Every structure is written in C-alpha cells, then in structure tokens.
Amino acid sequence: MMDEKHDDGLGGRSRNRREFSAANRWARPLCKLIAKEFDAAPLPDDVREAAAIARSINDHKALARQYQRIDKLVRLQDDDVIAAIDAFLADPHVPKTKKDAAAAELEHWCDRLIADGDEALEAWIELNPGADRQRLRTLARNARDKSAAKRRALRDALAP
C-alpha cells in the first residue's frame, strides 16, 4: 500500500483502472435503461445517438469501444448537462402517462367504494352526476368478497 509520501507519480495499475472507471461512468447505465427511461433521459443529440447505436451492438469489443465513445461525448458536455445526466441516472423515474394516471385513479376509487361504501359512492356521484347509483352500489357490495372478476366489473363501470 502506497501513501502520498512514497508516491512516485507514476500511478499504478489499480490506480489507473480506478481513474479510468471514474471517467467512464455513464455509458453502461445509459445503455441499460429501458426504452421509456432512455427516451426521457436529458441527453444531447450526439450522446443519445451514440447510446442508441450501443444498444444495438452485440459484439463485446465493438460495444466496449462504443462505451468509451459515449463517455467521451459526455465528458465534453458542459457541467450542467453532466449534472443533469448524473441526477437522472441516480433516479431514472419517468413521469406517468395520462393513461397510467387514469388507471391509478380508477383503482383508488374502486378501493374507496369497496371500503367506504355509501360515503365514497356519494363523493363519486358528486363528481359524476350521470352515474347509475344503484348499479355502482351493487357492484361495490359484490366486489367486497375479494373476487377479481367482480372488482374488474366495478372498475369497468367506473371507467368513462
């Protein structure tokens, strides 16, 4: 183990590998993102294009060269772009689509109607005045027996 007092400045194999790994930290995580996350990543066009090429390469050596190219392209970016990429890779959360949000809202209302009964039904009727109160009450009561088919029927009745 070398300390700074005995450092000759030449480095060493382990130190060189650590420095190389620290400088090449973006390509692999970028290429491992799922398509939805990759599309949402805050990447400049040249980096996005290079990463898309790397995602299609199967040869190990060619992939290693492409990884080096991606990391070099990222290192050439401004500090704020690099910080945005680092922040995204730390938490590659993709915002939900409108369809996913609507499905989550329907599940929430199904849970409320099954658990709360008439109170939740009144709240639903306030938001949706044209809803069939008696049908929803019956479907909610039937869905309380934990049957997936009956819950699905309730969810379908709530869907517009």
How many degrees, rounded to 5, is the angle at CA 92 between CA 87 and CA 94? Answer: 125
For the cut 70, the answer to whether the pLDDT of residue 85 exceeds it is: yes
For the cut 70, the answer to whether the pLDDT of residue 95 exceeds it is: no
- Domains detected in the chain: 11-90 (1.10.60), 98-158 (1.10.60.30)
**Considering the entire predicted model, what is its pTM?**
0.49
- Cα-based distances in Å from 29 to 120, 125, 151: 45, 47, 39
**Average pLDDT in the 59-85 region?**
89
For the cut 70, the answer to whether the pLDDT of residue 5 exceeds it is: no
Which of these, 105, 21, 5, lies nearest to 113 by C-alpha position? 105
The 10s digit of each residue's pLDDT in 20-69 is 666 677 888 888 888 888 888 888 899 899 999 998 888 989 988 999 89
Burial class, 67, CB count within 10 angstroms (exposed 0-12 / middle 13-18 / buried 19+):
buried
